[in-house]
Amino acid sequence: MLKKLYRKLRSRKITEPVYGRRGDHVTIREPIVVTHPERLFLGDYVHIGEEARLATPGGLQIDRGVVIGPRLRVYTANHNYRDAETLPYDGRFLLQPVRICCNVWVGGDVVIVPGVTIGEGAVVGAGAVVVRDVPPMAVVGGNPAQIIRTRDRDQYDSLKAQDRIYLKLKAEGRIQIEEVSLN
């Protein structure tokens, strides 16, 4: 009986999870783990790098034009430890959505905790641990993530007005990749 069930499960075709919303031209590099795909909302022209782990019971919204490097970790819930009925925490989960606004670049190995909003046009450096909201146009890095600098607002607004979104231009075959040595 168990062998039969095992064979059935092994041969079962795995279908793509049903997302809350999945925009056009979304690239998700496998493998990826999404705990509640129905609470994941993806805009158009989004790229998520390989080995992402998205714990989304509280909801995750990733807006248009977002590029995410490999091994992103997003948490949208936390255990209740304040006024808990047991130690180290109790059986209640505190749900807090995370939002990554338009045209954000999130580097590799980033961790984002519950309740955070990353503002439009921000850049999150590789390895950052984002524990509070990131203002629009900010470049942040570190643990905890701190503002390092801000992007040029005039340049950003000009590119946005022209709809020069990297993943859009790439999908249309209008962008060429080149390597530039900074040495």
pTM of the model: 0.89
Question: Which residues are the active-site residues?
Answer: 79
User: Helix count (H) and strand count (E) of the chain?
Assistant: 3, 19
pLDDT in tens, 44-77: 999 999 999 999 999 999 999 999 999 999 999 9
Neighbours of 141 (CB within 10 A): 19
Long-range contacts, stretch 78-86, CB < 8 angstroms, 24+ apart: 78/113, 78/114
pLDDT tens figures, 108-152: 999 999 999 999 999 999 999 999 999 999 999 999 999 999 999
The domain ranges of the chain are: 15-79+86-171
3-state secondary structure of 149: strand
63 within 8 A of 99, measured Cβ to Cβ: yes
CATH of domain 15-79+86-171: 2.160.10.10
